[in-house]
């Protein structure tokens, strides 16, 4: 279920830890998570999908969608850095391999050796719905800077990853992160996570504190 994690993060990050107040990823960043966040009484997939960035979004749309939630360019670059861990299904990027502009072409911004590899070893047909592909090959279980290194090698898996290298400001920030320490990436990432946890928090009597973050209380 592709969007589950992102829904989880944006809708109820504060509730992931119900008895504590900080999140730590082993060998990665950690951040404070205030408990008791009020969430909405309605959870509608199509409403959420309209606002959540898509892997096919270009830089203008990404910036706009983040700005709509009071997240800036740095937040966009930092939070995309979460793609240093985990996997994707082929459908999120196979258009880049097989039919980028509708004439059975390949995305010219994708490293062609990487594209060849993905076609021959992973997403063998355009409609493959089952194969899982690591987003940060070789380091998918490690929270590190290699996602950004790959972006500069034109090996970002999604158009949305690759797009971060095509805006002067986001590109400059990628370079800055790569020149800095892993520890400073962790602390910046943590700040953006905390900021994301504050998106459209309900106050007063509006909404409710969920017992289980993924469900409205009943
Ligand atoms: C910039 C906007 C973003 C887009 C367009 C995007 C898109 C995606 C897509 C398409 C997948 C793969 C889904 C699949 O095919 O199974 C994915 C996976 C993932 N995303 Fe994002 N994402 C974005 C931002 C984020 C943010 C802000 C976070 C967290 C801070 C995040 C964390 C992850 C993780 C950890 C996975 C791997 C999930 C797994 O291994 O099952 N992404 N994302």
| Residue 25 belongs to some domain of the structure | no
Domain residue limits at 82: 54-86+135-199
| Residue 157 belongs to some domain of the structure | yes
In the reported structure, the alpha carbon of residue 6 is separated from the centroid of ligand 1 by a whole-number distance in angstroms of: 6
Percent of the chain exceeding pLDDT 70 equals: 90
| Residue 216 belongs to some domain of the structure | no
Average pLDDT over residues 43-56: 93
Q: In a mutational test of the pocket of ligand 1, which residue from 1, 3, 6, 195 has the highest number of ligand atoms less than 8 Å from its CB?
A: 6
| Residue 210 belongs to some domain of the structure | no
CATH of the domain at 193: 1.10.420.10
Give pLDDT tens digits for 143-191: 999 999 999 999 999 999 999 999 999 999 999 999 999 999 999 999 9
**Which residue puts its alpha carbon closest to atom 1 of ligand 1?**
80
Average pLDDT over residues 35-59: 93
Evaluate: CB of 49 within 6 angstroms of ligand 1.
no
pLDDT at 23: 77
pLDDT at 98: 98
Q: pTM for this one?
A: 0.92
Evaluate: CB of 195 within 6 angstroms of ligand 1.
no
Evaluate: CB of 78 within 6 angstroms of ligand 1.
no
Weakest-pLDDT range from 41-50, 141-150, 180-189, 190-199 = 41-50
Count up the domains in the chain and report the number.
Answer: 1
Evaluate: CB of 37 within 6 angstroms of ligand 1.
no
Q: Looking at the predicted structure, is the pLDDT value of residue 2 above 50?
A: no
Confidence category of residue 201, pLDDT binned at 50, 70, 90: very high
Residue reference for tokens 């983040």? 66
| Residue 145 belongs to some domain of the structure | yes
| Residue 29 belongs to some domain of the structure | no
pLDDT at 21: 59
Alpha-helix residue ranges (DSSP H) falling in 91-167:
94-98, 112-117, 146-152, 159-162
In the reported structure, the alpha carbon of residue 204 is separated from the centroid of ligand 1 by a whole-number distance in angstroms of: 32
Polymer length in residues for the chain: 218
Burial level of 106, CB count in 10 A (0-12/13-18/19+)?
Answer: middle
Average pLDDT over residues 83-105: 97
Average pLDDT over residues 202-218: 93
| Residue 190 belongs to some domain of the structure | yes
| Residue 175 belongs to some domain of the structure | yes
Percent of the chain exceeding pLDDT 90 equals: 82
196 or 5, which is more confident: 196
The DSSP symbol for 39 reads: E
């Amino acid at each position: 279920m592709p969007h589950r994690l992102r829904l989880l993060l944006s809708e109820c990050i504060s509730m992931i830890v119900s008895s504590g107040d900080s999140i730590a990823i082993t060998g990665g960043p950690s951040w404070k998570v205030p408990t008791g966040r009020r969430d909405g009484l309605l959870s509608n997939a199509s409403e959420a999908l309209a606002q959540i960035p898509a892997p096919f979004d270009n830089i203008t749309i990404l910036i706009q969608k983040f700005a709509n939630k009071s997240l800036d360019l740095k937040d966009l670059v930092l939070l995309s850095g979460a793609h240093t861990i985990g996997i994707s299904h082929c459908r999120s990027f196979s258009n880049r391999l097989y039919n980028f502009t509708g004439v059975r072409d390949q995305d010219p911004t994708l490293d062609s050796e990487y594209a060849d590899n993905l076609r021959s070893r992973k997403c063998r047909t355009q409609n493959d719905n089952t194969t899982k592909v690591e987003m940060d090959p070789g380091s998918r279980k490690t929270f590190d800077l290699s996602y950004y290194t790959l972006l500069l090698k034109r090996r970002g898996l999604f158009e949305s990853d690759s797009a971060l290298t095509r805006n002067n400001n986001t590109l400059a920030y990628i370079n800055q992160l790569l020149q800095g320490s892993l520890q400073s990436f962790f602390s910046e990432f943590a700040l953006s996570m905390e900021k994301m946890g504050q998106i459209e928090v309900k106050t007063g009597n509006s909404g409710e504190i969920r017992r289980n973050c993924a469900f409205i209380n009943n």
